[in-house]
Every structure is written in C-alpha cells, then in structure tokens.
Structure 1
Amino acid sequence: MNYSIYKLSFHTGLHLGNGKLSDGGTVIHADTMFSALCLETLKTGGSEMLDRLVNLVEEDRFRISDSMPYITDDLYLPKPMIPIKSSNEGDSVEKKAYKKLKYVPVDRFDSYLEGKLDVQEANDFFSDKFGEYEVRTMVNLEDEEDAMPYSVGIFQFGKDAGLYFILGFRDEEDRYFVGELMESLSYTGVGGKRSSGLGKFTLKVGKLPQILEQGLTQREEGQNFMALSICLPEEDRMEEILRGARYAVVKRSGFISSTDYADSYRKKRDLIVFSSGSCFSGRFEGVLSDVSDGGRHPVYSYGKSLLMRIN
C-alpha cells in the first residue's frame, strides 16, 4: 500500500463535541472522517459512489488514520502506550510532563522511545503553538421568538498549525477518487456546527516522512505496533491481539446523519474500539462494522487498523 499525508489547514474554528455542545476536542477519529466521506459521496454521486468507497475499504484498498497535529513542517504522532525509561526517572516534574504529553514530534520519535526527549520543552512548545480552546456564545436565528443563546466549544488553531491524516491506497485511481472527496469535504467542513461556518479547511497533500513510511510498510513481526487510528480487530483474533497489548478503549456512539435512514433521528449501535496510541505485538486488519439498528440502509463504522511498527 502507498501512503500520503493530507494536511487540513483550518480557516475557521473547529467544533468536535464530546457529548455536550460546550465540549471541545481536536481529534477527528478515522470513523468520523470515513462517515463524513460517506455523506460526501451521497451528496456528489449518490449510492453508486458510496458503494465504491465502501468496497475500497472492504477490499483493503484504502486506509485512513485518526487526525494528528502538525505545527509548520513538524508532524506529531500519538504517544505510544508503552513504558519509557528516562534518565531522570525519579524526577516528579518529569513524571508530570510525561503524563501531560499527548503527542510526540515525528522527527524526535526515536529519541522519545529512548527516553532522551525533553518532554517539558516539547509540552511547552506544543501548548504555545498548536492553538487554544474557547467557548463561544451563539444564538439560533431561525426561531426569532424563542432565540435562546447557547454555548459551543471551539478550537482555534495557531498560525501554521492544523491536523493531518495518513491515507493509504493500492493504486493511483483510488487515491484520486478519495482525494477528490477530501477536496469536496474541505468546502462542506468537518465536525459540528458546520452551518455556522465552522470546520472549513484548505487541503494540502504531502509525502510521508521516512520514519513513518518504514514503520507502516515493514511487515516483519516486532515487539510493538502502534495504532494510528481507532480500530477494532476481527472477533476471532481478539484473544490473540490482546495478548501482551497495552491499550485504551473508547466508546463510539452517536446519531445517524442520513435523512433516508428513518423518519426520525436514530442512534447508532455503540461500539467499543481501541484508541490510537494502543500498542500490539502483531498486525491485524480490523473490520468495517454495520452499526445500523432497524433503519432503511446500512450505517458503516470504520474500524480498520493503521499500525506503525515502533520497535
């Protein structure tokens, strides 16, 4: 599989809720982006185009990561869920810095694994440059009589900062097809409150750094493979995958956006999946799940893996 980087440079704020409108986040999970791409296919090409996108996933011709941060030319990876031995192990300040650290610069990833990264400096730089969260008051102007203000959590990215995805393709035709969908999505926007102008971005495609390409393409078994997306292994491999793994799980739920699915808003079936940063002793493919619950058509939840060998 061939991989490219898709950088999203936001020219508006981004709302990613965690259950409340006033909540905010900065991670667009792979299943969220896949759902957005599915809706974009329906808007631009109908069910035939949607079937093509779903087939790409089911035939292992397309993979996507969770979103990860970038600042200027520096890309970041999730902190791997493995123990790190540093030279100042007993230092309480450093312990707090390690706990606070969420992302590791790609060009210093090996230094981090060796316990040589200055995590306090890395935290300070990231906090200063990546952006900041704010709560904005909005009013629903469609209902003038009962227009009540409400609070929305919004992340504003710093100058030259944004999010990137790793996309994997089998061939150029597939890359062009998904790339066109991503470009179309840049005008639609991602996340919540898009009708209020949030989530709009400019798309830029780039090459994968060597350390990422090597980690994604090396097939031989290693000690640890880190997930770069939320993922769900095949059921018959779950026991094997859990052996020796260091992981966190997250519940994926929410409402179905399709207006054709049912006459009223319906919830998806909940899924428990592994978080990005989880580490496993071997590779697995993952699954694409149907999380519909009695509606008129399937609702797909992306759980395919994108695993990077880290040692």
Structure 2
Amino acid sequence: MDYYVYPLRFVTPVHFGDTAQGGTLEDLSLTFSSDSFFGACCNELAHNTEVLYTFIDDVMNGRIVMSSLFPYYIDGDNWQYYVPVPMIRVETADIVTRSYTETKLEAIKQKRLKKRAYMRASQVKHFSDTVQYHIDGVMPIFVERNVTTQVNMRGTQSRPYYVGNYRFMPNAGLYIIIGFSDENQKNFFDALIESIGYTGIGGKRSSGYGKFELADDPTWLSEGFYEDDIALYDMISAPQESIRMCMSTCVPQMVEDIQRLKQGQFKLKKRSGFVVAEGATTQVKRKSYYALAEGSISQHSIEGAVIKIESDALPYAVYRNGRGFWIGVDLHE
C-alpha cells in the first residue's frame, strides 16, 4: 500500500464541533476526525450511487485507509507535521530547584506539557525523554479563534446566538494521510478532495466555512524529504510488534479487540451530532456512539469497522468510518 500526505490550506474560517465538550456552537476542535471526513467524502459522492458504494467498499475492506486530520506548520522551507501526543504514562525525573522562581517556572512547564495535545512526528521517538526531563518545546500558533454573532430568524421572535470558528494562520493548516492499494484509487481521490474543497468540511458550511485547497502536491511518504514526513513513514511501516498508536477515530467491534485495550492506554470520545444528506429535507440527529480517540495506545492494531446510520428521515443510509489507522511508536529510543 502507498501512503500519501495531503496538506490542506483553508481559505475560509472553519467550525469543527467538539461534541466531547457539549457540542454547542461555541465549542471547537482544532482537528477533524476521520469518521467526519469520510462522511464528507460520501456526501460529495451521493449523486452517483455506484461510485459512492465502490468508495465505501474500498474503505470498509481496507483498500483505502485514512487518518484523521492533524495540524501542520511551515517554518521557512521546513514542513512540520504534528501527531497526537501518545497516551502513555512515563515516570518523571525529580525536580531540583534552588529558588521559588525556579519552582514556579518548573510548575508552569509541567502544566504546559500536560495540556499539550500534539507534537512533531519526528519527536515521538524522544517522547520518554520529553516527559521524564520536562523538556518544554515551543508550540507554533496554528489558528486564531473568533466568535461571531448570528441571528436565528425562525419562529416569532429573532434570537441571537454565537458561533465559534478558527482561522488558520497563513503558514498552517491540516493534513491527512491516505493509503491506497492501487494508482487508480489515488487518481479518484485526488479529484474527490479537490471537489470537497469547494463544498467545505465541518459545520456552518452554509455560511461559507470549511473551504480549502491543497497547500502543495500530495507527498508520497516512501520518498519523504522533511524530517517529519520521513518519521511518519517510519512509524507507518514499523513492525506490528511495536507499540501501536491510533491516528484515526476507531470503533472496535471484536470482543478480542476490546480485551486487548486493557493492555494499553486509551480514551473514548462520544461521537454525536446531526447528519446532513443530499436530498434530505432536514438535519437528522444521529444515534451516538463511542470511539477510541486519536493518540490511544495498544499493544496490537485494532481494525474497527465502518458504521452504517439509517433513519426514516434520510433518503439513504449514511456511513461513518470507524476503521483504525495505527502506527508503530518507539517511545523509549
């Protein structure tokens, strides 16, 4: 299988809802999950049933695999790709300070480390040292957060409400890793992702949010040039015996997989919200489900499954990608 990185440059603000925080219009996520991106792909293909179900079948059977969308940052000529911080406990070294000021600075550094959600792909192999010795790397600024006021004109009385959004910095955006089993699938996806860019992803697309274009040509990871894309390929091609980290929204189905999770460290996130389908007269509240969050750690890769969502209010079944995209991480190098 050949793996490519697609870097997306957003030309409008984005609204990626965060259902873990309650799912209000003010709650935001910096990244975009693989199940939601897959849903956007399916919605874009809904006008051609034959092509749609071929795409779903390819994903369902692992002929096309995809990660969630994570931030990238361009520093001069260097492309930096960020991945989730692995969910693994590392014993920290004792803090030796000689003054109140030093103690305060170390405490601030530890809090900042605990809150960090992403790290450069090339630094994952140094993760143990980063935590153990409180190495506090400086994170770039990916986005600027804004809140806009809009008015709900439905009903007898207009009511204002607030919508949070992110605007990416000129040298930042999100990237997705896609694996293809043959060249025809890549050519198909190249056209698909260009089309989705005009439609947009995330919420409030009717207000013009979520539109993007490719920031650069897709990078074939086996011919990586930068430190981080080389690291991504090394982790993707790592042996199955290595510790595995989840890079997608994964919904385990097998009892054996659920038992295996007890040997790792993971976080579940609630996936809920509304489904929009071409031809539907209204948004449909979908049934909630729980998935492994990106950054979860397991001793073995977990396959997961594509979820089928049906409703009488939908003209056709809607699918969400719960298949796992796992990479090998050596956290103690």
Instruction: Quote the Cα distance in structure 2 between the aligned partners of 1:88 and 1:42.
Output: 57
**Structure 1, unaligned stretches of length 5 or more?**
none
Instruction: Quote the Cα distance in structure 1 between the aligned partners of 2:178 and 2:94.
Output: 37
TM-fit CA distance, 1:237: 2.3
TM-fit CA distance, 1:199: 0.8
The residue type paired with residue 58 of structure 2 is: L
Asked whether 1:244 is paired with 2:244, we answer no
SS in 2 for 1:165: strand
TM-fit CA distance, 1:151: 1.3
SS in 2 for 1:23: coil
TM-fit CA distance, 1:71: 0.9
Q: Taking structure 1 as reference, are residues 298 and 237 closer, same or farther at Cα in structure 2, changes over 3 Å only?
A: farther
The residue type paired with residue 275 of structure 1 is: A
> 1:99 maps to what in 2?
114
Instruction: Quote the Cα distance in structure 2 between the aligned partners of 1:220 and 1:259.
Output: 40
Instruction: Quote the Cα distance in structure 2 between the aligned partners of 1:50 and 1:5.
Output: 23
Q: Which moved more, 1:289-298 or 1:195-204?
A: 289-298
Asked whether 1:110 is paired with 2:129, we answer no
> 1:288 maps to what in 2?
306
TM-fit CA distance, 1:131: 1.6
Q: Taking structure 1 as reference, are residues 272 and 145 closer, same or farther at Cα in structure 2, changes over 3 Å only?
A: closer
Is the CA contact (8 Å cut-off) linking 1:130 and 1:161 kept in structure 2?
Answer: yes
Is the CA contact (8 Å cut-off) linking 1:3 and 1:169 kept in structure 2?
Answer: yes
Is the CA contact (8 Å cut-off) linking 2:248 and 2:324 kept in structure 1?
Answer: yes
The residue type paired with residue 161 of structure 2 is: Y
Asked whether 1:42 is paired with 2:46, we answer yes
> 2:84 maps to what in 1?
78
Is the CA contact (8 Å cut-off) linking 2:307 and 2:321 kept in structure 1?
Answer: yes
Q: Taking structure 1 as reference, are residues 269 and 94 closer, same or farther at Cα in structure 2, changes over 3 Å only?
A: same
> 1:302 maps to what in 2?
321
Is the CA contact (8 Å cut-off) linking 1:89 and 1:95 kept in structure 2?
Answer: no
TM value normalised by structure 1: 0.89
Is the CA contact (8 Å cut-off) linking 2:92 and 2:134 kept in structure 1?
Answer: no
Corresponding pairs, count: 302
Instruction: Quote the Cα distance in structure 1 between the aligned partners of 2:13 and 2:50.
Output: 33
Q: Taking structure 1 as reference, are residues 231 and 212 closer, same or farther at Cα in structure 2, changes over 3 Å only?
A: same
TM-fit CA distance, 1:145: 8.8
Q: Taking structure 1 as reference, are residues 57 and 139 closer, same or farther at Cα in structure 2, changes over 3 Å only?
A: same
TM-fit CA distance, 1:206: 2.0
The equivalences for 1:137-176 within 5 A come to 137-139=149-151, 148-176=159-187
SS in 1 for 2:195: helix
Q: Which moved more, 1:289-298 or 1:270-279?
A: 289-298
The equivalences for 1:48-63 within 5 A come to 48-63=50-65
Q: Taking structure 1 as reference, are residues 120 and 238 closer, same or farther at Cα in structure 2, changes over 3 Å only?
A: same
Q: Taking structure 1 as reference, are residues 49 and 120 closer, same or farther at Cα in structure 2, changes over 3 Å only?
A: same
Q: Taking structure 1 as reference, are residues 296 and 119 closer, same or farther at Cα in structure 2, changes over 3 Å only?
A: same
Instruction: Quote the Cα distance in structure 2 between the aligned partners of 1:89 and 1:297.
Output: 59
The equivalences for 1:7-22 within 5 A come to 7-18=7-18, 19-22=23-26
SS in 1 for 2:290: strand
**Structure 2, unaligned stretches of length 5 or more?**
97-105, 222-228
Is the CA contact (8 Å cut-off) linking 2:244 and 2:328 kept in structure 1?
Answer: yes
CA RMSD of aligned residues (A): 2.4
Asked whether 1:65 is paired with 2:67, we answer yes
The residue type paired with residue 181 of structure 2 is: R
SS in 2 for 1:25: coil
TM-fit CA distance, 1:300: 1.2
The residue type paired with residue 168 of structure 2 is: F
Is the CA contact (8 Å cut-off) linking 1:85 and 1:115 kept in structure 2?
Answer: no
Instruction: Quote the Cα distance in structure 2 between the aligned partners of 1:30 and 1:301.
Output: 8
Q: Taking structure 1 as reference, are residues 173 and 155 closer, same or farther at Cα in structure 2, changes over 3 Å only?
A: same
Q: Taking structure 1 as reference, are residues 137 and 241 closer, same or farther at Cα in structure 2, changes over 3 Å only?
A: same
Q: Which runs of structure 1 show a deviation greater than 6 angstroms over 4 or more consecutive aligned residues?
A: 142-145
TM-fit CA distance, 1:176: 1.2
> 1:120 maps to what in 2?
136
Same amino acid, percent of matched pairs? 30
Instruction: Quote the Cα distance in structure 1 between the aligned partners of 2:311 and 2:143.
Output: 38
> 2:99 maps to what in 1?
none
Q: Taking structure 1 as reference, are residues 166 and 146 closer, same or farther at Cα in structure 2, changes over 3 Å only?
A: same
SS in 2 for 1:80: coil
The residue type paired with residue 177 of structure 1 is: F
> 1:210 maps to what in 2?
230
Q: Taking structure 1 as reference, are residues 260 and 11 closer, same or farther at Cα in structure 2, changes over 3 Å only?
A: closer
Asked whether 1:192 is paired with 2:196, we answer no
1:109-156 CA-to-partner distances (Å, cap 9, x unmatched) read 22223337865332xx32xx212211112346x879965433110111
Is the CA contact (8 Å cut-off) linking 1:77 and 1:104 kept in structure 2?
Answer: yes
